[in-house]
Amino acid sequence: MVTAKDSWKLVGLLFLCFLFAQAVLLYLVLSFGNKFNFDSLVLLNAMSLIFILLLPTVLFVIVRGWNLLDAFRLRPTSLSIIVITVLATFALSLTVSQLVLCIIQSLRDSVFVEQSKLKNFLYATSKVNSPTLIVLAVMLPALPEELVFRGVIQQGFERRYSPATAIVLTSIIFAFFHLDLIQAFSVLTIAIFWGWVVWRTQSILPTLLAHALQNALTIFSVISLMSANEGNSELNGVFDISPNWLVASLGFLLWLVLVLILLRIMPKRGDKDESAVVAIHPYQTGIANGGN
């Protein structure tokens, strides 16, 4: 059974792996940067997450002797919950994307924007010629991120802290691991929503699919905007587009409606009768403190 102590240990282990991997990647880019094309850089970024996040976590779970499916919350849930979670993610991302545009334009000349990993990644990915490689590069990272953060780490926090604290804490750590202010802001709000879905369903399947499809939607939207921007291939032309607050408002309202639907069809949590919770979640191996 994953505990909060295990989660904190895993966070520390992943942070060390992350720093080591960043140092290796920096060395490779500085030493052999002229030999890497955009395709290689994007694929290297996607594959590095497997070794930074997933491999250490799998080894951690195996050493602890836990069941892999339970540790990663790979549990079945209803198709309707999965579909609505995906749609709600798209709706919320409409609001977040307009806020990110506003921030980027407000801080255009600052170091946060000029050196933004999000901006550089979108630019590099938009230059990739292979559609298959683009799909792998933007959708593959969702797998290790969901398995590790909302699968294992949040599960441990839920057994020590209140659900709200566990969700927010996991989301902050998830955003921090991006090491980029703009990207951290862009993922934090959606990460909190995903954390809530995982807590209610005790399954990462809805957020795993929503995360992967959202990544794909983001990059293909950027590519489409660049193509429609009078042939301008520079990413700055995309970020010059003024935020559309009507789109942001409609996206937020649609997200609220979809959340209300999720509340009606999701398993109940926080019942006083603990046996009812266990009956609803036959795969649950523990109840979070403060969840009763």
**Total structural domains in the chain?**
1
Structural domain contains residue 49: yes
Position 50 scores a pLDDT of: 81
Q: Domain range holding 84? A: 4-280
pTM here is 0.83
Structural domain contains residue 286: no
Tell me: pLDDT of 13 over 90: yes
Structural domain contains residue 285: no
Return all residues near 152 (Cβ < 8 A) that are at least 6 apart. Answer: 2, 6, 7, 10, 57, 60, 61, 71, 72, 73
Return all residues near 28 (Cβ < 8 A) that are at least 6 apart. Answer: 36, 44
Structural domain contains residue 120: yes
Say whether 137 sits in a helix, a strand or coil.
helix
Q: What is the band of 160 on the pLDDT scale with cuts at 50, 70, 90?
A: very high
Tell me: pLDDT of 42 over 70: no
198 or 177: which carries more pLDDT confidence?
A: 198
Q: What is the band of 291 on the pLDDT scale with cuts at 50, 70, 90?
A: very low
By mean pLDDT, which of 51-65, 75-89, 120-134 is the weakest? 120-134
Cα separation, 3 vs 99, whole angstroms: 36
Burial of 49 (0-12, 13-18, 19+ CB in 10 A): buried
For residue 110, the tally of other CB atoms under 10 A from its CB is 14
Structural domain contains residue 287: no
Position 119 scores a pLDDT of: 60
Position 275 scores a pLDDT of: 32
Position 268 scores a pLDDT of: 81
Position 287 scores a pLDDT of: 38
Structural domain contains residue 292: no
Position 126 scores a pLDDT of: 59
Structural domain contains residue 117: yes
49 or 61: which carries more pLDDT confidence?
A: 61
Structural domain contains residue 114: yes
- E-state strands within the chain: none
Tell me: pLDDT of 57 over 80: yes
Q: What is the DSSP letter of 52?
A: I
Cα separation, 56 vs 160, whole angstroms: 23
The pLDDT tens digits of the residues spanning 268-290 come to 875 433 333 333 344 444 434 34
The pLDDT tens digits of the residues spanning 226-263 come to 665 554 445 555 566 778 899 999 999 999 999 999 99
Position 230 scores a pLDDT of: 52
Copy the structure tokens of residue 220.
């293909």
